[in-house]
Structure 1
Amino acid sequence: MSSASQSRPWDVHRLPSAEGRNFLVTGGNAGIGYFVAEQLAATGAVVVLGSRDAAKADAAMASIRSRVPGARVRQLRLDLADLPSLKAAVDGLDLDRLDAVVHNAGVALDDPPRRETGDGHELMFGTNHLGHFALTQWLAPVLSAAPAGRIVTVGSFAARSERLDLDDLQSTRDYRPKRTYGRSKLAQMCFGFELDRRLRAVGSTVLSVVAHPGGALDSLTPSRPPVRVTTPGQRLRALPAGLLVQGKEAGAWPVVRAVLDAEVQGGQLWGPRVFGLRGTPRREPVPPHMADPAVAAHLWAAGVELAGTETHLGFR
């Protein structure tokens, strides 16, 4: 990339070329993940949509191709709630190298009862955090094979007000869906920062970056039928909220910058410019509770035990 392109202000509507690069977006068939995939596809990269549902992934790819002429998109069957399936899924990538993975897929439950994955883990913690924790191990060889691989973990603004209960990571004693979701996203973000520290310690060329979409509402999101349809009435009713938050197309901007910007460094946090809720992407200070080394060490050890991974996750 030329020095001129590096010094030019970041423009969410004029992304740099990523021709020849390969990206994987987990949960790329809907929500923030869909718009991340659509925007990355416009750079000329190969974009793989990780999805549990082949039909939804097909619909997402058709939508992307209708908006991005020549888009190079394909899908990968990926179920983060099924930890034993992840190695075979990654084998199905059939890529010599992966330039970036976006850890985006997630489950958000609004009501009880507490649910578990087939492996016996609380569903949100097991999918959002443990699934990506385990996936990282299997992706390590192809990420390390890229000249400058990146792992971009998509967190949540909700994680700012949460704290992890290290004695009850899976909410077995006190399950409240919204709090459990926020804590699962906090666990993801803590993992992203700790992962970068460990990558630096072993001299890896791979970077770990954390990004969040701010406040991203479906009702402010542009339609992408059949992936997502927003009616004029929904958009009209949501206009007042647009003073504070935004749609999911804009919510994808910090994630896309974390993937593409040559000046982004490992261990950074990226989010929307206006109060962390809306606007163009900017770097944010990392809240202390997301970077506490003692909490990170405990969470990492729990991840190794619960997900059955190696301590170093395969990075050298």
Structure 2
Amino acid sequence: MSPTSSTPPWDVHRLPRAEGSVFLVTGGNAGIGYFIAEQLSATGATVVLGCRDPARAEAAVTSIRSRVPGAQVRAIRLDLADLASLSAAVESLEVSALHAVVHNAGVALDAPPRRETGDGHELMFGTNHLGHFALTGLLMPLLSAAPAARVVTVGSFAAKSERLDLDDLQSRRDYQAKRTYGRTKLAQMYFGLELDRRLRTLGSSVESAVVHPGGALDALTPSRPTVHVRSLGARLCAAPAALLVQGKHAGAWPAVRAVLDPAARGGELWGPRLFSLRGAPRQEAVWSHLADAAVAAGLWDASWDLTAVDPTCLRGQAMRAGPWPTGG
């Protein structure tokens, strides 16, 4: 839904206040995730960074506090590649309700060899998709306890040219690092949209939206010492690219809007305004292949089998009884 004429235009530099809200940002210690967390912290909300590396998490918390006076920000240890650890991570939140989770964390490998998580899943698929799929189920009671909570999944523009092979989700037959990464981000986007469809069927107050950052480069990203430092040389070399793409601070804008904008709704896709690559965030048409209900359902069933978690369990235990499945 687009803002009505009575709603002030969205301004990425004048965000609505969100005191009393609690937001979890996975991978909030670096890249786009860091800037999502920094921007959400400026609203007065409590922001929790879910990070695998405690030292990098602390550096990010320190950076946010130095830039946002009075920021209510902290970190928990979260390793999406270790499914058995996720319950403890959720417990460590120590909150009675969660108003939004931003699924941002991810692994991107540039080259072979293919690697696996300790659970036997291809590393990028296991971390980027399965970890967030399972985490959502474990967070659902907290999300359901908040009024109109939101799940915001950060996909990638690279996923627009990819297609899922339901018979090879783990890239056992066809592993190409960049292609596999794009497919894992596509899987996340399918999940985010399918989650909303299922939540609507259940009459849940939780909504799920999908975003992508467009083209976001480190060289166009402002420095945040101890988190990210941009050299003058890198800035000058990347200057021509700024006509088409942007920095990661701007790549955060669609996710931040999907969390905060009262006009945003579940089932929507948000991205940059200009050619879906740069600019202010806007709602865009859901890509045609993301509307394939059969693929979405097949991915959901496979993910449930591989994680033993039901993301639409609104109360109580989301996990099936028994050990974590492996392989597949």
- On whether the aligned pair clears a TM of 0.5, the verdict is yes
Residue equivalent to 2:282: 282
Residue equivalent to 2:39: 39
**Local SS of the residue matching 2:119:** coil
Deviations for 1:138-192, whole angstroms, at most 9, x for unmatched residues?
A: 0000000001100000000000000001110010011000000000000000000
Within 1, Cα distance between the matches of 2:292 and 2:207? 19
Query: What is the CA distance between 1:245 and its match in structure 2?
Result: 0.3
One-letter amino acid matched to 2:312: L
After TM superposition, the structure 1 = structure 2 runs for residues 176-255 of structure 1, keeping only pairs within 5 Å, are 176-255=176-255
C-alpha spacing 1:4/1:115, structure 2 compared with 1 (3 Å): closer
Query: What is the CA distance between 1:4 and its match in structure 2?
Result: 10
**Local SS of the residue matching 2:241:** helix
One-letter amino acid matched to 1:16: P
Query: Where does the alignment leave 5 or more consecutive residues of structure 1 unmatched?
Result: none
After TM superposition, the structure 1 = structure 2 runs for residues 67-106 of structure 1, keeping only pairs within 5 Å, are 67-106=67-106
Query: Where does the alignment leave 5 or more consecutive residues of structure 2 unmatched?
Result: 316-328
The question of whether the paired residues in 1 share the 8 Å contact of 2:198 and 2:312 is answered with no
One-letter amino acid matched to 1:96: S
Residue equivalent to 2:149: 149
Within 1, Cα distance between the matches of 2:130 and 2:291? 18
One-letter amino acid matched to 1:71: A
Within 2, Cα distance between the matches of 1:263 and 1:4? 8
Residue equivalent to 2:324: none
One-letter amino acid matched to 1:313: T
One-letter amino acid matched to 2:219: S
Query: What is the CA distance between 1:6 and its match in structure 2?
Result: 6.6
Residue equivalent to 1:313: 312
C-alpha spacing 1:109/1:262, structure 2 compared with 1 (3 Å): same
C-alpha spacing 1:171/1:6, structure 2 compared with 1 (3 Å): farther
The question of whether the paired residues in 2 share the 8 Å contact of 1:81 and 1:127 is answered with yes
Residue equivalent to 1:169: 169
Within 2, Cα distance between the matches of 1:288 and 1:157? 14
Within 1, Cα distance between the matches of 2:130 and 2:314? 18
How many residue pairs match? The answer is 313
The question of whether the paired residues in 2 share the 8 Å contact of 1:194 and 1:291 is answered with no
Query: What is the CA distance between 1:5 and its match in structure 2?
Result: 11
Residue equivalent to 1:294: 294
**Local SS of the residue matching 1:94:** coil
Deviations for 1:226-278, whole angstroms, at most 9, x for unmatched residues?
A: 10000111001000111100000000001100000000011000000000000
Residue equivalent to 1:60: 60
One-letter amino acid matched to 1:315: L
Residue equivalent to 1:267: 267
Residue equivalent to 2:323: none
Within 1, Cα distance between the matches of 2:46 and 2:126? 28
Query: What is the CA distance between 1:288 and its match in structure 2?
Result: 1.7
One-letter amino acid matched to 2:221: T
Within 1, Cα distance between the matches of 2:6 and 2:145? 24
Query: What is the CA distance between 1:214 and its match in structure 2?
Result: 0.3
Residue equivalent to 2:321: none
**Local SS of the residue matching 2:174:** coil
TM-score by length of 2: 0.94
Within 1, Cα distance between the matches of 2:189 and 2:76? 24
TM-score by length of 1: 0.97
Within 1, Cα distance between the matches of 2:48 and 2:297? 32
One-letter amino acid matched to 2:56: K
Residue equivalent to 1:120: 120
Between 5-14 and 101-110, report the one with greater CA deviation. 5-14
The question of whether the paired residues in 1 share the 8 Å contact of 2:195 and 2:312 is answered with no
Residue equivalent to 1:136: 136
Within 2, Cα distance between the matches of 1:145 and 1:15? 24
**Local SS of the residue matching 1:204:** coil
Within 1, Cα distance between the matches of 2:131 and 2:5? 36
Spell out structure 1 runs of 4+ moving beyond 6 A.
3-6
Q: RMSD across aligned C-alpha pairs, in angstroms?
A: 1.3
One-letter amino acid matched to 2:77: R
The question of whether the paired residues in 1 share the 8 Å contact of 2:82 and 2:117 is answered with yes
